[in-house]
Chains A and B, each alone.
Chain A
Amino acid sequence: MNQENMLEIRGLNKYFGPTHANKNLNFSVKKGEIKGLIGENGSGKSTLISQIAGLYPSDSGEILLDGKPYTPRSPIDANELGISIVMQELGVIGSLPAGVNVFLGRTRQFTKNGVVSLKALNKAAADVFEKWELPKVPLNKLTDGMMIETRKIIELARALSVEPRLLLLDEITQSLSMNNRNKLYELINKLKSMGCSVIVITHDVEELIRITDTITVLRDGEVVGDLVSANTTPDEIKHMMVGREISGEYYRADMVPDYGDDIVLSVSDLTVPGEIEDVTFDVHEREILGFCGLSDSGIHTVGKAVYGLLKPSRGRVRLNTRDLTVKSASQALQNSMAYVPKDRDNEALMIHASIHDNFVLPSLTELQAGVGYLAPGKLRKLAQEMTDKLSVKCTDIYQAMDALSGGNKQKVNLGRWLAKDIKLLILDCPTRGVDVGVKAYIYSLMKEAKKNGVATILISDELTEVLGMSDRLIVMKDGRIADVIGRDEDFTEQSVIRVMI
């Protein structure tokens, strides 16, 4: 083991159900090193540092801290060994004052006779702000009314109050204003000069190169590159992040856009405050219209808004085939539209109900006989036919969904819509958490739907997927449309990534 390494990780594996989030990762951080960590959504970055921070245990592999085995049972263990983290998700309690948030969970040190001295606590908090030259925050006020930036600074103060030897920062810079970012960079350098190390996760490639010593690039749960910041370029990193072998058979063989002239859906000036702004596009018959962008680009919001699940403050979604404006999801359902949500277990499926119940739910209106009668035989037939057609691996159609694998769940998620006669299909990350075989099958289903005249909106975090399947590709950034590219134009990762990031 390298004596210089403060932290060394070998063969780290982490699974979430069938998803292999971290695959045999080797990773190390030297004392006094500023290490950058970057990758697409789903590459495993947050998973990796969450394990270092003690938020949850690894499945296999070893972590060594200063040469000794490191197995924290909780973030408190990690804190005691000098490791603290500022998480990506917001981590303050709104109903408590800022000062308390800094020391929450560690208030015993300010307690005398059972009573916490808020004065001592706030003084200690103020000292932390002072020591690290953080912008002042009113410590007595509840964090509830404070700006996101201020809340992030409080979390930073909390992480620093532990006197960390290793500080983990997960996407913190995107919520800071320019001058606060500069202060953060100074802070990071100060830690370095003290012999402490920092791991920084950010989407801003230029920033990463500027402030770090070395960079590790992750892709699909694996390390694809360990670079020295001074010797690399943004393009090299971006290429590593998203570049993959595109095997032609997998996706579409052709490189020509192929869709009808009739416009199925017209979206104009669609605006959802805080998420998307002035989104305008058309979807044609037989077209697969791809949407790609980073996590905050708004692509997922577009899908929800088109299906009537979000109320826009401005703009319209017009379904031309039925000549109506889509205002609610129930309208969408009744008018041959379909929506396959990204979050399979929580938004798409009734996880404790049977395969049968999940398959028939979107089709109940169509399955009615006179007087609204839903014949059990008819429902059973639909469920059985779809199960057979899609080869859903199960004991029978009455098995509960939660017993199925991710791939088979996704077959049900998508299949329940394909059982209907639909005109517009909205897919959000249709192959996420699904093995290669099912992935290929889903693409073949998409091609079949295309042949049958269905218009598809394909929203995906996976660049190769949208490049492989779309006739046209809309790239979004910060809630707006950044570019629209046709399949016959510059349909390469480079051109897309440039716009996306």
Chain B
Amino acid sequence: MKKLRITLQDVVPFAAFIVIFLFFTIMSKGRMLSAFNLSILLDQSVMTIVVGCGALFVVAQGSIDLSVGVNLALTSVIATWAANAWGDWLLIPVALIVGTLVGIFSGIVVSRFKVPSFMLTIAMLIGIRGIVNFIQSFIHTQAIPKSMGILSAPYIKYPAFVIIIIALGYVFEFTKVGKYCKAIGENETTARYVGVPVSLMKVVAFAICGLTVGFGALFSLSSNGGTSQQIGLFFEMRVAMAVFLGGVLVTGGTSAKLYKVLLGSFSITIIVNGLSLIGLSQTQYSQSIQGLLLLLILGVTILASKKIGKSAAPADDEEIAGHSEDQTAKA
């Protein structure tokens, strides 16, 4: 039986979650716990969790995808338009395909052209938002076909959600794909030298992330009945917060675990929901708290992870002469 190793790094996100939960429950005088509110919480978490689990593959490698928000918007707009123009049933496949294609594009540019993922996905953040705004300037908001409205029915939505999460969890924790992604995050050079197909895995990770964006788009469209001018706005930060508040390191690796995305998603959803319950839903409170929290958690988890293991990288003074434990052979 695997011995449960609990480290500071694991404890902090749980502690944070408990603190956040208690804080808002108390401040909202218990309204947080009402059945109605809990169901809203769950609903609001669904999209975040689904895309978060997809983003997990990317973050496990040490990269990031900040374009999930605009990808969601683009996917929603195109899928709705296709469904209305050519056939209701197209909504699902088009959403999934467009989301995945955008992901594949990111993956190729990062792996083949070596552009840092944060820079690329931010450039896409602005570029694709421009395209979406452009499209919406003459298509305006659309409603999804009536027949597709059935997607929002609880007996379809929730089972679908559970199945998707289980599938993603399976691939991440129990197949080569997930293990390779974590290896790349731990040490990309090592992974390459073993023979892991690193470039391919990068494209795959971004593609999976894009696929989950497609699912997210479907959830969003079915909840709202169609597109809007606000789709996907700030969503990438939502997903990033979910992943990092859950305790996944920016460098990914073995710190990337599925349960952390669940934990973090609930944390961030409670924060946003809680703030509105206590009347502080305005941007300035919501954003400042999220920004501070993110800095805090990142700082603490990074610090905790450095304390655990002796750093294997050569100390700076050894680096100067090109020496490390393993390089004295050059002497």
Contacts and interface: CB of A to CB of B under 8 A. Distances in A.
B195 A332 contact: yes
Interface in A335-378: 339, 341-354, 357, 360-362, 364-365, 368, 372-376
B186 A352 contact: yes
Interface stretch (B18-26, B54-62, B295-303, B305-313): B305-313
A461 B183 contact: no
B202 to A, nearest CB: 13
A398 interface: yes
Contacts of A16: 314, 318, 323-325, 328
Contact of A351 (B174, B187, B320): B187
Given A347-B190, A353-B253, A88 B195 contact: no
A116 to B, nearest CB: 25
Contacts of A382: none
Interface in A9-33: 16-19, 21
B329 to A, nearest CB: 4
A115 B304 CA distance: 43
B322 interface: yes
Interface residues of B, number: 47
B321 A56 contact: yes
B194 A361 contact: yes
B3 A330 contact: no
Interface string A131-157: 000000000000000000000000000
Contact of A19 (B3, B177, B253, B325): B325
A406 B326 CA distance: 9
Chain A: interface size category: 35 or more
B328 A47 contact: yes
Contact of A345 (B179, B191, B200, B312): B312
Contacts of B308: 400
B254 A353 contact: yes
B175 interface: yes
Interface string B212-223: 000000000000
A284 to B, nearest CB: 23
A347 B195 contact: no
Contacts of A43: 331
Contact of B176 (A328, A365, A396): A365
B328 A21 contact: yes
A71 interface: no
Given A309-B192, A351-B312, A402-B309, A343 B326 contact: yes
Interface of B: 2-3, 5, 174-177, 179-180, 182-183, 186-187, 189-197, 200, 253-254, 305, 308-314, 317-318, 320-331
